[in-house]
Chain A
Amino acid sequence: QVQLVQSGSELKKPGASVKVSCKASGYTFTSYHMNWVRQAPGQGLEWMGRTKPNTGKSTYAQGFTGRFVFSLDTSASTAYLQISSLKAEDTAVYFCARDYGGSPYDDFDFWGQGTLVTVSS
C-alpha cells in the first residue's frame, strides 16, 4: 500500500538548519510529483512548492525561496525539505504530499503524517 513516512519532530534554535525527510513506498516514486505544505499552529494549509522526481526540477512558491530547498534521493524513494537560518515563524507542521504527474488535476491523494518543526531559543 502507498505510504509516505516523514521523519520525527525537531526542536531547533534560531539560525540553525533542519532537514525533513519523506520516504515513499508502495508506488513508482518517479511517476508522482512531491509537494510540500506548511501548516503553522492553528492556521490553514500553505503550499510551499514541489519537485518532479522524473526531472529533478523544483518549483517554489513565493515566500519559500532562498532558505528552503527541496531535494530527492530517487534510489531511496525519499524526498527532503531543508530549511536554513531558521526563524521562530518557521515553527509549523510540514507535510509532504504526492500528486500524479500524468493527471491534469494535481490532487494530493496521499500525504505524509507531518513533521513538527519548533524553532525556539
Chain B
Amino acid sequence: DVQMTQSPSSLSASVGDRVTIACRASQTINIYLNWYLQKPGKAPQLLIYAASSLQSGVPSRFSGSGSGTDFTLTISSLQPEDFATYYCQQTFSTPITFGQGTRVEIK
C-alpha cells in the first residue's frame, strides 16, 4: 500500500498568512494526488486534483504542486473559512489512501 505522510500535523496561523502543507508518498505516484478540506461535522470537499488542478468553484488562493513523491498545498492568504483539516489522497493505486490530516487553527 502507498503510505501518505503529511506535515505538519497541525499549525497555527493568522488571517492573511501564507500557509504551506506538505504531503509525501512512500513510493512514486506521478500526479495522482488530490487535496481535500474538511470542516468539523461536515463531509470533505475537493480542492485540488491531479496535484495542481483547481477544482471548479474553489478560490484561487488555493494551489497545489509536486509530482512523484513530494507534494505541496499552498493557501496564499488564509481566510477565516479556511480554518479546517486538510487531507491529501493518492489514487495511483488501490487501496486509495489518505494522509493523516493537517489541522489549521487560528493563532
Q: Which residues of A contact B (CB under 8 A)?
A: 35, 44-47, 49, 59, 61-62, 95, 97, 99, 104-109, 111-114
Say whether A105 contacts B98, CB under 8 Å.
no
Taking A61-B95, A105-B91, A106-B96 as contacts, is the C-beta distance between A112 and B43 under 8 angstroms? yes
B interface, over-half SS: loop
A-B pair number, CB within 8 angstroms: 63
A97 to B42, CA, bound (A): 13
Say whether B87 contacts A107, CB under 8 Å.
no
Say whether B32 contacts A108, CB under 8 Å.
no
A50 to B95, CA, bound (A): 10
Q: Determine the chain B residues whose CB is within 8 A of the CB of A61 once the complex forms.
A: 94-96
Q: Determine the chain B residues whose CB is within 8 A of the CB of A35 once the complex forms.
A: 96
Say whether A45 contacts B87, CB under 8 Å.
yes
Q: Determine the chain B residues whose CB is within 8 A of the CB of A106 once the complex forms.
A: 32, 91, 96
Taking A47-B95, A59-B94 as contacts, is the C-beta distance between A109 and B46 under 8 angstroms? yes
